Amino acid sequence: MKKPTKVKIIFVTGGVCSGLGKGLSSAAIGAILKACNYEVFSLKLDPYLNVDPGTMSPYQHGEVYVTDDGTESDLDLGHYERFIDVDLNKHSNLTTGQVYQMVLQKERQGDFLGKTIQIIPHITGTIKNYIYEAAEKIKPDFLLVEIGGTVGDIEGEPYLESARQISHELGKQQVMFVHVTLLPYLKASNELKTKPTQASVKELQSRGIRPDIIVARSDYKLTKEAIERITLFCDVTEEAVIPASTVKVIYEVPVNFEKSKISKIIQNHFDLRYRKPELADWKNLLKAIKSARKKIKIGLIGKYTENNDAYLSVNEALKAACYHYKVKLDLIWIDSVKLEKNDKKEILKLSSLDGILVPGGFGKRGIEGKILAAKYARENKLPYFGLCLGAQILAIEFARNVAKLTKANSEEFDPKAEHLVVNFLPGQSENRAKGGTLRLGAWPCIIKKDTVAYKAYKTEEISERHRHRYEFNNLYREQLEQAGLIISGDSPKKDLMEIVEVTDHPFMLGCQFHPEFKSRPLRPHPLFREFIKACLNKSGG
């Protein structure tokens, strides 16, 4: 196992409870280091036993994020890419399932030469290897390593032990620990309690880890007394306690952290010559967000409405495009299952919108509701943006109601339908099992001139990220085009339709890929920008 000699590793752990925004905190630290002109890469260690989140329910786990190389990962990678503006890859997400898979595969091959396989050193060794390999292959200045879960979780132990060993092997000058913890507020005594933080730091210490920075999350402003108590009991300097009160806009976090000079603490720790972070872009973004008055009403037609995280990147991409035009996003959740059942209240919601977005999704439930929304958008010239499944919905609706293929459907929802305008491409994959059979990651796409897509991208060749099993059926290309559905984005070989748009409509566009994964708060995605522009025109500028 080759130890990295230059890369500085920052481990981020979480204490007290989950849901503190550990991923956001690490991403914000990454943004600050990037703003100091360092190269930053990040990886997330997920303690669960699934091999990857690809087959996990969005209800439980939020969206599945996809990187250029087709890695299906935890949504925290989305935060990292948005904050650090770096393209992550297979070196950015490790799960316990993967670790065991690797170790057991080696065991079956006899690679351990009859030895007893144990958590220490075999599981921890594999984890360390993964981290060292990422450091060696990517060679960033800083490698941020977020350990999922909360300190004390049984599943997290091998990761903490690996982090401890890495700190032992590389030494303080190359490793740092940031602990994100919660200070609950007690109304009765009107104070923020530090005891849970003390307890979680003790837990870390008992595992041989001493945090160098404590990010203190709270819903209220941190008092001086609270900081003093943390300093005293948790063995950190006063400057190293970073107050992190809950914010309205997540992009405030880097600017807030830097108010406590976190960049200085980190660079001092690693004995680096100080570089000041250039946060002007983030500050300007916050100004734009705060000064926005006009609201734009976008209906998001989905089925995972209980859990916003299922559409996290879509939400952030919409917001980024709104920030660009200095307008506020008023996102209206519309339940496709209710639409399907002809729920009057849900249908009425459509009439107040400035635009409709149908995001990606799997399975039959709610599909007819989405088709109804697409029909409404087409007939009422309301801007419509379909992402992956949303694009397939656009094609099905168009085929049924404009091209008069009344029995059009997707093979996914009705394999026996007369006109399968969306189908499983023969030869694309022989294996139809649920794990690992999707078209994944970055694929090239050629944009046709004089189309809405070209107006947005202003270039003829693009690359976008995919995650789907079904495709537009090439047999219907001509018929649909003749009826007015333009193929404005195509694969270089013209065998995979990538973008379709309805002529004679201000903006009715669907893309087979997921543009939301490439949108950045400081660089909104061209298609989202164009969509919001069309919605603004609809709402009267």
Catalytic residue set:
388, 514, 516
Helix (H, G, I), strand (E, B) or coil at 58: helix
Considering only the stretches 69-77, 341-349, 398-406, 465-473, report the one whose residues sit in contact with ligand GLN under the rule CB under 6 A: 465-473
Q: Binders of ligand GLN among 466-495, rule CB under 6 A?
A: 467-470
Nearer to ligand GLN, 132 or 470 (CB): 470
Q: Which stretch binds ligand GLN (CB under 6 A): 232-240, 355-363, 365-373, 517-525?
A: 355-363
Determine contact, residues 470/423, Cβ cutoff 8 Å.
yes
Minimum CB distance to ligand GLN, residue 28 (Å): 29
CA–CA dist 91, 75 (Å, integer) = 15
Q: With contacts defined by CB under 6 A, name the span among 114-122, 359-367, 448-456, 523-531 that binds ligand GLN.
A: 359-367
Q: Total residues at the site for ligand GLN (CB under 6 A)?
A: 10
Of 361, 366, 386, 524, the one binding ligand GLN (CB under 6 A) is 361
CB neighbours of residue 494 within 10 Å: 11
Q: Is 373 in the site for ligand GLN (CB under 6 A)?
A: no
Burial bucket for residue 215 (CB in 10 Å: 0-12, 13-18, 19+): buried
Indicate whether 412 belongs to the interface with ligand GLN (CB under 6 A).
Answer: yes
**DSSP collapsed to 3 states, 396-410:** HHHHHHCCCCCCEEE
Nearest to 534 by CA among 231, 388, 322, 373: 322
Candidates 51, 362, 381, 481; binder of ligand GLN (CB under 6 A) is 362
| Contact residues for 475 (Cβ-Cβ < 8 A; gap 6+) | none
Nearer CB in complex with ligand GLN: 53/243: 53
Tell me the residue number closest to ligand GLN, measured at CB.
360
CB of 357 to ligand GLN, least distance (A): 12
Report if residue 360 touches ligand GLN, rule: CB under 6 A: yes
Is there binding between residue 370 and ligand GLN (CB under 6 A)?
A: no
Least gap, CB of 444 to ligand GLN (angstroms):
19
Contacts of 449 (CB under 8 A, 6+ apart): 460
Q: Does 54 bind ligand GLN (CB under 6 A)?
A: no
- Packing angle, helices 76-84 and 312-324, rounded to 10: 20
For helices 22-35 and 262-269, what crossing angle results, to 10°?
80
Q: Among residue numbers 379 through 398, which ones bind ligand GLN (CB under 6 A)?
A: 388-389
Q: Does 159 bind ligand GLN (CB under 6 A)?
A: no
Beta strands in 21-88 (DSSP E): 40-46, 65-66, 72-73
Task: For residue 116, give the DSSP letter.
Answer: P
Task: Kindly list the residues in this chain that would bind ligand GLN in the complex (CB under 6 A).
Answer: 360-362, 388-389, 412, 467-470
